[in-house]
């Protein structure tokens, strides 16, 4: 048995890519996309006919709608391959606009439904800002399920649970990046591996907190830098993994032991939250107290916005 096959005994494996031509060989249940992944795929020559087809049918529409139709086209193609769900992201430029996020999410769902895809197979990805969490809360009440992304802080995870979010995507690799950069020459890669990895520890704390309190929100570790981080989170509800790392796991023989065990949640040493559900000021203060989360959330939104603009330019130029 290879590591990918073994991991699937403990965790739902999700493909983190917009390149649907790569997905089938790894047999993931779900798939996730974001503006950067869609842009990366859209620039490949093999996807030029897909872009041309979307533009041929919709070039007279507003650019933001053409982008949404392209996202849905990629998502629909991916859903022909995976048996589960696709995560499609709302434009990151709406990260601080609750009403705008809700409207964009409704349009994405309507476009999927027009293609015959039921809403239960779609997760709308939204940045885990205060405004994004409020948008997700409203959407969940409408039966539109959400995936809250760019999640770095424990307070974000608690707020998402309070809002009834279907799934969260804490970013392992970007947390690791921040701590490694901050430590500089003092960083000891071997000592900070496995369960000592700060990104792994963040996801573990959130997962344990959810299990201890019976929270139904799914935890999906994301943004991995190497397979060691993935293996250290075996047992997490879901893990979304790039094709490159899926390939490494598939090429490596060996059993993967379960690392996250729900029975351990009762005894886990977990931080407590000291703000009331829906308390915006307390949420913002708690997020501000976490320098890593504050910096990485802002940086992540900027990067996704930059790639959204590049995707706009690519479509406009064609």
What one-character-per-residue DSSP string does 132-184 give? HHHHHHHHHHTT--EEEEEE-SHHHHHHHHHTT-SEEEEBHHHHHHHHHHHHG
Cβ pair 124, 109 in contact under 8 A: yes
Give 269's contacts (C-beta < 8 A, 6+ positions apart). none
Beta bridge partner(s), residue 170 = 151
Phi, then psi, of 171 in degrees rounded to 5? -95, 100
Active-site annotation holder among 40, 44, 125, 211: 125
C-alpha R_g of the chain: 19
**Distance between CA atoms of 305 and 317, rounded to whole angstroms?**
18
Give 204's contacts (C-beta < 8 A, 6+ positions apart). 195, 233, 260
- CB burial string 227-262: b at 16+ within 10 A, e below: bebbbbbbbbbbbbbbbebbebbbeeeeebeebbee
Phi, then psi, of 83 in degrees rounded to 5? -85, -15
> Catalytic site residue 125?
yes
**Distance between CA atoms of 200 and 237, rounded to whole angstroms?**
14
**Distance between CA atoms of 27 and 20, rounded to whole angstroms?**
12
Catalytic positions: 125
């Amino acid at each position: 048995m290879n590591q990918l096959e073994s991991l699937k005994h403990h965790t739902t494996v999700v493909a983190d890519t917009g390149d649907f031509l790569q997905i089938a060989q790894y047999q993931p249940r779900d798939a996730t996309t974001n503006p950067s992944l869609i842009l990366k795929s859209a620039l490949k020559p093999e996807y030029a006919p897909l872009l041309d087809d979307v533009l041929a049918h919709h070039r007279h529409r507003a650019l933001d709608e053409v982008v949404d139709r392209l996202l849905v086209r990629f998502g629909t193609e991916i859903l022909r391959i995976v048996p589960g769900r696709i995560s499609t992201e709302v434009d990151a430029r709406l990260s601080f606009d609750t009403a705008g996020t809700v409207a964009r999410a409704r349009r994405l769902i309507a476009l999927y439904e027009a293609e015959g895809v039921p809403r239960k197979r779609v997760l709308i990805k939204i940045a885990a800002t205060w405004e994004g969490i409020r948008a997700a809360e409203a959407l969940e009440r409408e039966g539109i399920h959400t995936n809250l992304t760019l999640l770095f802080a424990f307070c974000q995870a608690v707020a998402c649970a309070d809002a009834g979010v279907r799934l969260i995507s804490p970013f392992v690799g970007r947390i690791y990046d921040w701590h490694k950069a901050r430590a500089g020459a003092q960083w000891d890669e071997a000592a900070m591996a496995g369960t000592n990895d700060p990104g792994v520890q963040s996801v573990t704390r959130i997962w344990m907190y959810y299990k201890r309190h019976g929270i139904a929100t799914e935890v999906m570790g994301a943004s991995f830098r190497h397979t060691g981080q993935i293996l250290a989170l075996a047992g997490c509800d879901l893990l979304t993994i790039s094709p490159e790392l899926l390939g490494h796991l598939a090429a490596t023989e060996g059993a993967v032991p379960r690392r996250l065990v729900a029975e351990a949640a009762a005894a886990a040493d977990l931080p407590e939250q000291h703000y009331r559900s829906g308390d915006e000021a307390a949420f913002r203060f708690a997020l501000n107290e976490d320098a890593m989360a504050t910096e990485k959330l802002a940086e992540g939104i900027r990067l996704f916005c930059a790639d959204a603009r590049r995707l706009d330019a690519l479509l406009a130029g064609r």
